[in-house]
Amino acid sequence: MKLSTRQIVISGILGAVSIVLGITGLGFIPVPTPAANATIMHIPVILGAVIEGPVVGLAAGLIFGIFSFLRAGTPFFADPLIAIFPRLLISITSYFTFTILKRFNRDFASGTAGVIGSLTNTIFVLGLAVLRGFLPFGAGAATAAVHGPPEAVIAAVLLVILVRVIDYTKPESNNSNIQ
């Protein structure tokens, strides 16, 4: 598989954005729930998959996953299966969601890809943490119930905005697909 220069550059940029979001704390948005924060660190992975395809999303997801593993804030992120694997799946689920739905409406497709990508992250990280014995089922389910909805909504809104901006600024687009 051959990647274009654009795809390589976008993978690197989105991976760097994930790292900056994590290092600076900007990837965590305070929300009025017991969990206190929703993460947006998965947004670059979803965006990469949507705008440039699953390989770009996988590259950004790998960078995000390795960063999570190296900076493990909880014991289960010190497990590479939990820290990395779900971040790769974000790309796959987001890409196929967007690809299937974009023929109907790009905003709907972008927002739904954001929701699905976000839920993929939440469900697989917490599900694997439960399966690998780091969390009891009740704690994993409660955390998913608290974290999942705000993160999914934030991801949907950001993806619609970001995809619109990227569509609008593409030189080859002549801006005719923006409604």
For the whole model, what pTM was predicted? 0.88
Rounded mean pLDDT of 85-114?
A: 97
Longest dimension (CA), the chain: 52
Phi/psi for 65 (5° steps) reads: -65, -45
Query: Quick one: fold of 5-173?
Result: Arp2/3 complex 21 kDa subunit ARPC3 (1.10.1760)
In angstroms, rounded to a whole number, what is the distance separating the alpha carbons of residues 40 and 42? 5
Give residues with Cβ within 8 angstroms of 151, minimum separation 6.
38, 39, 40, 42, 118, 121, 122
Query: Around Cβ 85, how many Cβ atoms within 10 Å?
Result: 15
pLDDT in tens, 100-141: 999 999 999 999 999 999 999 999 999 999 999 998 999 889
